[in-house]
Chains A and B, each alone.
Chain A
Amino acid sequence: MSVTRRAFLGGSAVAVGGLVVADKLRFLKPAAAAAATAEQAAGTASGGALSGAELVYRTGHSNNCDGACGHLVHVVDGRVTMVGPAPWGTKTVSGAPAPTFHPRVCLRGLSQISNTYSPDRVKYPYKRVGPRGSGQWQRISWDEATSLIAENFKRVQDKYGKTAVWVAPYTGSLALIEGVVGAGFRFASVIGASAGDSEGDNEGDSATPAGWNYVLVDPANPANGGGFFTGHESVDFLSAKAIVFWANNVAETSIPDWRIMLDARQQSGTQLISVDPRFTPTAAQSDMWLPIRPGADTALIDGVINYVIKNGLYDAPYIRAYTVGPYLVDPRTKKWLRAKEVIPGLSGKAADDYVVFDEADRRLKAAGDPTLGSAALFGRYGQAGLQAPTALQLLAEAVAPFTPERTSELTDVPASQVVALAQAWGTTKPLAVRAGFGLSHWYHGDLHMQALLTLQAITGNIGVHGGGVTTFAGGLTTTAFDLLHWWAPNGKPYTLLEPMNFCDAVEKGKPFPVRAAWFMVDNFAQQMSDRNRVVNAIKQLDFVVVSDYVLSATAELADVVLPACTYFEKTDLLSSNNFYLQYMPKVIEPLFESKSDLDAIRLVAEKMGVGQYFDKPPQEYLKEILHLGQKDADPTVRGLTWEQLTTEAVHLNTDPIPYVPFFNKQFPTKSGKIEFYVEMLVPFGQELAVHQEPIEASPTNPLFKKYPLVFLSTHTRFRTHSQYVNLPWLKEVNNGGNGFLEINPKDAAARGIANDDVVRVFNDRGQMKVRARLTEAIKPGVVNCYQGGWDTLKVKHYIEGHPNNLTHQIAKPAQALIPNFPSNAAYYDCLVQVERSEA
């Protein structure tokens, strides 16, 4: 066995004020085990005899998964021996009852032991001694590694400007100290560098958030911080009477959440509806499955909107109260008609108010006019030749072509199913939507979300329990954490450079040159779209550092590789995907010479003269981020104590519980209403959510003749992006660890492809080779290859390449309106051809 056993404990392990109190530990044999605090373990980390005593810690699974499970980790003599599901706290920070939330774990979490002890771990710092990517390394000391980094970063910054160093801390971890909002941003800020996107996964997960902001948020208002994105707490789905899983394979990718949906069906007869081009485990257990043409999502939504309006199934009082539906639009400019333009004698705020038509006295009025009886929802109104339609009228006209028959032609969903979906949508309340990030992996992903919100607005399903459109939620989407001061302790934040702009920055110096990069918890060279271009750009850099716990495809391109810890080996806090605070104690000492990213950054920072920003242990930074014990702590965490935080997973003080965005119906838009008519999108012709064909993956694209198959690269339950790929247990149940391309037998037969044949998947951007898996689960004309498998020198999950050798980086200009979600990689908006190949 290659693992060094390290014993934390002296002869006697004693439970003292445990991290998890004994009566909550359902797995423990009381005689054999003792609960422990992180401090206790850390304090006894040096040497000592093997005692055989078992310690159990509660931690959170931070490895970029929407499950965000709580784990009970069993440690014997400094070695992790078992992982199981952990209980959740029963109270909020302020002591109110928290929702009932089942302990949760899945096969990936259970496999974390072999991930931590994997022979693939990077054990020591290394420097490159051969050409980039040649796999020739020399082991070096941490001192030499951090000196090399500091010297090269200083050299690059002196020569090309401060922002020429790009720090990319990424979603490989969703915890606070490391990963998507982690210390990398703080480091970038204090050295004046640029940094990658922190608002979630810009590499494909930004389109639907942008669409969400079009409708629900005014991005220009500083109070909105450049845009945000949140959703309903998972247990809120218990309140839904119908749940639509739109491009969301919950039962495979966020497995424990599916239990909540099944509970809803069992308890309340909730209808489960799946919209997906693939027959997924989610579709298999749904009451209705709509096998949609990939990328035609907005067309189907438009078909539903049309049916709902035509059949009077909309929620008129809700539309009047909470949406811009009755507001008149100036037909000449397509902008909102303002009161001063049509109503004489108004002054002040009223003059700039929106205009409605009062059905009671048949007069035009300012929207805020106290004499307003009932605002007309449909029609055109005005004077002196000006006939201004209501926004809802414009919506009705825009979606009128989307009859069930026409919608069926566009979506491949039978017209009867379009009607069934629309009927369910119009008559079932509340109705919730779970929209997967797959919906975002399209050039028009923003439009898909805009359309879903439009439909949810006119049916009165936003800001209500059991409603909404949810893709991502959790503590990270709240104001609980003071990330701005965490990121910019000197008051000067890093310069944002989105991943989608990285190649331009390297190749063309636009918007500024980037000559060095530090990737942390980020397998950018494999997971970013248009991978061949990305790899080429990385190779052009003067200096590349990668921190990782395995030698990833990105690490293989580095000049210096730093051995990172797994989450068992460091202290952090997870509050993602649910509204609990999951303290993550260090449960074992870092293996080999690995260090947490915080410790690695500290060593470099000291050599760059900014060590003072990293001289505290992670616990102290967590206290600062939470304003723990301070009067100015955010209301969601006000009154939190360190003991509370480290004793159980405590629920945030959300309002309401379970959390529902906009429950008070105060929408942070310009109008204060849900803006399904989006004035700022008029220049883009997208003020209403009307279907547009995908930028690439459409039969209307001339390229379709050459590349007639839509190429999806979805998620599998057997890994989380590129984590958990090379672990023996998971490989055994996942095709021996060999990747495969799902292809319909019809498409296979037309190409002479039999099951398990090697095929070449290709387009103008690149190619990959992989074995074919024939399955009727996938729509003819569509192929799918699960993304994330490794393409490294040592591990070829696919025979050659990776799905991202085929994807592109075409960004949609309209998204730039939302500063926090300005660009998106449209992974699924991709065409390929497939042919039989030799291995």
Chain B
Amino acid sequence: MAAGTSTTPHHVMVIDTNRCVGCWTCAVGCKEVNNEPLGYWWNRVLTTAPNQSTSAKKPASENIDVPWGEYPNVEMSYLPVACQHCNDAPCVKVCPVQATFRRDDGTVLVDYERCIGCRYCIAACPYGVRVFNWGGGEYAPGGVVGYGKDYRTDGHLVFEPERPKGVVEKCTFCVERIDVGEQPFCVEVCPLGARVFGDLNDPASEVSQLVNEGGAVQLLAELGTEPNVYYVPTRRRVMTET
């Protein structure tokens, strides 16, 4: 951290959509490190038109890797979406038991010992990134994978290898990793180097450069939720004619 800044970092993640190829490695890595049950994804990769704005013909089917437009005038990009860790998070506001809380570093977390499973947060989240643990979850063969231990921050139980039935789960920015100076696992495993994680309070950090000068934007910024996940817009669109 640069000298003279606050001692509390402001954690943000920047995802460069010019580098994302929709491979799902981040999502599978998330599933691994967090031991997510089958059918649950804290992190998903959407196929979109570049920058979600296009006048091109809608996709022929609603599947991944299906482009907008008409062959050969087609276009496609990808948008990985997990918890946006909002500064003004609707999920925090609606939680009746303060199970969802925001740390000073910007990380939004769920205290699994407080969560009562009311799912108000799921309804409130405009990004659709929270999942409800219905219990009896099945897992990939091989037993518990990933971090494998409980993790607490300021006394809150924010990670368990197998979450109990009836809680709401979501991306934690890999709090157990970032608290010891490591990168979130999706950043670590991204084969494209599309994800950057760091401290927005440090003007020299790569995330600061990308947010302040690289034109990175927030999803649904108009809602005023102030996400701490930013996206570098897609600069290129394939032109079949040059």
Chain B contact surface mostly: loop
A252 at the interface (CB under 8 A from B): yes
A15-23, A218-226, A310-318, A768-776: which one contacts chain B?
A: A768-776
Decide if A110 touches B32 in the complex (CB within 8 Å). yes
Question: Please, how many angstroms separate the alpha-carbon atoms of A618 and B28 in the complex?
Answer: 33
Chain A residue contacts of B222, Cβ below 8 A: none
Decide if B61 touches A774 in the complex (CB within 8 Å). yes
Q: A755-B61, A774-B60 are in contact. Are A291 and B23 (CB under 8 A)?
A: no
Chain B residue contacts of A84, Cβ below 8 A: 29, 185, 188-189
Decide if B69 touches A776 in the complex (CB within 8 Å). yes
Chain A residues 2-39 with CB under 8 Å of chain B are 2-3, 5, 26-27, 29
Beyond known contacts A104-B191, A106-B23, A728-B140: 8 more, CB 8 A cutoff: A67-B191, A81-B144, A114-B140, A259-B192, A282-B21, A291-B72, A745-B60, A776-B59
Distance from A345 Cβ to chain B, minimum over Cβ atoms (Å): 56
Decide if B236 touches A85 in the complex (CB within 8 Å). no
Distance from A169 Cβ to chain B, minimum over Cβ atoms (Å): 27
Decide if A117 touches B60 in the complex (CB within 8 Å). no
Decide if A776 touches B67 in the complex (CB within 8 Å). yes
A674 at the interface (CB under 8 A from B): no
A59 at the interface (CB under 8 A from B): no
Decide if A262 touches B242 in the complex (CB within 8 Å). no
Chain A residue contacts of B140, Cβ below 8 A: 111, 113-114, 117, 727-729
B73-81, B125-133, B162-170: which one contacts chain A?
A: B73-81
Chain B residue contacts of A414, Cβ below 8 A: 240-241
Chain A residue contacts of B148, Cβ below 8 A: 76, 81-82
Decide if B23 touches A117 in the complex (CB within 8 Å). no
Decide if B141 touches A117 in the complex (CB within 8 Å). yes
A707 at the interface (CB under 8 A from B): no
B38 at the interface (CB under 8 A from A): yes
Chain B residue contacts of A435, Cβ below 8 A: none
A1 at the interface (CB under 8 A from B): yes
* Identity of the chain A residue whose Cβ is nearest the Cβ of B72 in the assembled complex: A291
Chain A residue contacts of B69, Cβ below 8 A: 776
B223 at the interface (CB under 8 A from A): no
* Identity of the chain A residue whose Cβ is nearest the Cβ of B50 in the assembled complex: A284
Question: Which 8 pairs show the lowest CB-CB distances between chains A and B?
Answer: A117-B142, A774-B60, A291-B72, A114-B140, A251-B21, A256-B191, A420-B242, A107-B28
Decide if A773 touches B63 in the complex (CB within 8 Å). yes
Chain A residue contacts of B236, Cβ below 8 A: 285, 287
* Identity of the chain A residue whose Cβ is nearest the Cβ of B61 in the assembled complex: A755
Which one of B29, B76, B147 lies within 8 Å of A110 (CB-CB)? B29
Chain B residue contacts of A252, Cβ below 8 A: 21, 23
A708 at the interface (CB under 8 A from B): no
Which one of B72, B78, B145, B191 lies within 8 Å of A82 (CB-CB)? B145
Which one of B22, B41, B193 lies within 8 Å of A259 (CB-CB)? B193
Distance from A507 Cβ to chain B, minimum over Cβ atoms (Å): 40
Question: Please, how many angstroms separate the alpha-carbon atoms of A117 and B185 in the complex?
Answer: 22
Chain A residue contacts of B76, Cβ below 8 A: 279, 281, 284, 777
B2 at the interface (CB under 8 A from A): no
A630 at the interface (CB under 8 A from B): no
Question: Please, how many angstroms separate the alpha-carbon atoms of A201 and B143 in the complex?
Answer: 35
A735 at the interface (CB under 8 A from B): yes
* Identity of the chain B residue whose Cβ is nearest the Cβ of A1 in the assembled complex: B143
Chain A residue contacts of B185, Cβ below 8 A: 84
Chain A residue contacts of B51, Cβ below 8 A: none
Question: Please, how many angstroms separate the alpha-carbon atoms of A780 and B71 in the complex?
Answer: 8
Between A and B, 27 residue pairs with Cβ closer than 8 Å are A1-B141, A1-B143, A29-B180, A82-B32, A82-B33, A105-B191, A113-B140, A114-B141, A117-B141, A118-B141, A119-B141, A251-B23, A252-B21, A252-B23, A255-B25, A259-B193, A262-B18, A279-B67, A281-B21, A281-B76, A288-B238, A416-B242, A417-B241, A733-B24, A775-B59, A777-B66, A777-B74
Decide if A291 touches B71 in the complex (CB within 8 Å). yes
Decide if A775 touches B25 in the complex (CB within 8 Å). no
A825 at the interface (CB under 8 A from B): no
Decide if B65 touches A255 in the complex (CB within 8 Å). no
Decide if B60 touches A775 in the complex (CB within 8 Å). yes
Decide if A730 touches B28 in the complex (CB within 8 Å). yes
Distance from A66 Cβ to chain B, minimum over Cβ atoms (Å): 12
Decide if A777 touches B71 in the complex (CB within 8 Å). yes
Q: A3-B141, A82-B145, A118-B141 are in contact. Are A279 and B72 (CB under 8 A)?
A: yes
B11 at the interface (CB under 8 A from A): no
Chain A residues 99-138 with CB under 8 Å of chain B are 102, 104-107, 110-111, 113-114, 116-119
B102 at the interface (CB under 8 A from A): no
Decide if A81 touches B146 in the complex (CB within 8 Å). yes
B85 at the interface (CB under 8 A from A): no
Interface flags for A237-276 (1: CB within 8 Å of B; 0: not) read 0000000000000011001101100110000000000000
Which one of B25, B31, B33 lies within 8 Å of A105 (CB-CB)? B25
* Identity of the chain A residue whose Cβ is nearest the Cβ of B45 in the assembled complex: A733
For B18, B66, B142, B239, the residue with the greatest tally of chain A CB atoms inside 10 Å of its CB is B142
What band does the interface of chain A fall in when counting residues whose beta carbon is under 8 Å from B? 35 or more
Interface flags for B203-242 (1: CB within 8 Å of A; 0: not) read 0000000000000000000000000000000001011111
B70 at the interface (CB under 8 A from A): yes
Question: Please, how many angstroms separate the alpha-carbon atoms of A283 and B239 in the complex?
Answer: 10
Distance from A717 Cβ to chain B, minimum over Cβ atoms (Å): 5
For A67, A85, A287, A776, the residue with the greatest tally of chain B CB atoms inside 10 Å of its CB is A776
B92 at the interface (CB under 8 A from A): no
Chain A residue contacts of B144, Cβ below 8 A: 81
B27 at the interface (CB under 8 A from A): yes
Which one of B61, B143, B146, B238 lies within 8 Å of A283 (CB-CB)? B238
Decide if A777 touches B67 in the complex (CB within 8 Å). yes
Q: A286-B238, A775-B61 are in contact. Are A255 and B192 (CB under 8 A)?
A: yes
Which one of A3, A116, A258, A774 lies within 8 Å of B21 (CB-CB)? A258
B182 at the interface (CB under 8 A from A): yes
Question: Please, how many angstroms separate the alpha-carbon atoms of A279 and B78 in the complex?
Answer: 14
Decide if A80 touches B241 in the complex (CB within 8 Å). no
Question: Please, how many angstroms separate the alpha-carbon atoms of A256 and B191 in the complex?
Answer: 5
* Identity of the chain B residue whose Cβ is nearest the Cβ of A251 in the assembled complex: B21
Decide if A288 touches B188 in the complex (CB within 8 Å). no
Decide if B61 touches A773 in the complex (CB within 8 Å). yes
Which one of A5, A258, A284 lies within 8 Å of B192 (CB-CB)? A258
Decide if A717 touches B240 in the complex (CB within 8 Å). no
B97 at the interface (CB under 8 A from A): no
Chain B residue contacts of A732, Cβ below 8 A: 38-39, 41
* Identity of the chain B residue whose Cβ is nearest the Cβ of A727 in the assembled complex: B140
Chain B residues 117-166 with CB under 8 Å of chain A are 138, 140-148
Distance from B43 Cβ to chain A, minimum over Cβ atoms (Å): 11
Q: A107-B28, A281-B21, A284-B76 are in contact. Are A777 and B192 (CB under 8 A)?
A: no
Decide if A107 touches B23 in the complex (CB within 8 Å). yes
* Identity of the chain A residue whose Cβ is nearest the Cβ of B56 in the assembled complex: A776
Distance from B159 Cβ to chain A, minimum over Cβ atoms (Å): 14
Decide if A113 touches B24 in the complex (CB within 8 Å). no
B10 at the interface (CB under 8 A from A): no
Chain A residue contacts of B71, Cβ below 8 A: 279, 291, 744, 776-780
Decide if A110 touches B189 in the complex (CB within 8 Å). yes
Question: Please, how many angstroms separate the alpha-carbon atoms of A538 and B149 in the complex?
Answer: 50
Question: Please, how many angstroms separate the alpha-carbon atoms of A101 and B216 in the complex?
Answer: 27
Q: A83-B32, A281-B22, A717-B24 are in contact. Are A776 and B191 (CB under 8 A)?
A: no
Chain B residue contacts of A283, Cβ below 8 A: 238
Chain A residues 61-101 with CB under 8 Å of chain B are 67, 76, 79-85
Question: Please, how many angstroms separate the alpha-carbon atoms of A416 and B241 in the complex?
Answer: 7
* Identity of the chain B residue whose Cβ is nearest the Cβ of A756 in the assembled complex: B61
Chain B residue contacts of A774, Cβ below 8 A: 60-61, 66
A289 at the interface (CB under 8 A from B): yes
For A106, A119, A717, A744, the residue with the greatest tally of chain B CB atoms inside 10 Å of its CB is A106
Q: A117-B141, A284-B76, A745-B60 are in contact. Are A107 and B66 (CB under 8 A)?
A: no
Q: A111-B28, A286-B238 are in contact. Are A262 and B19 (CB under 8 A)?
A: yes
Decide if A27 touches B74 in the complex (CB within 8 Å). no
Chain B residue contacts of A80, Cβ below 8 A: 142
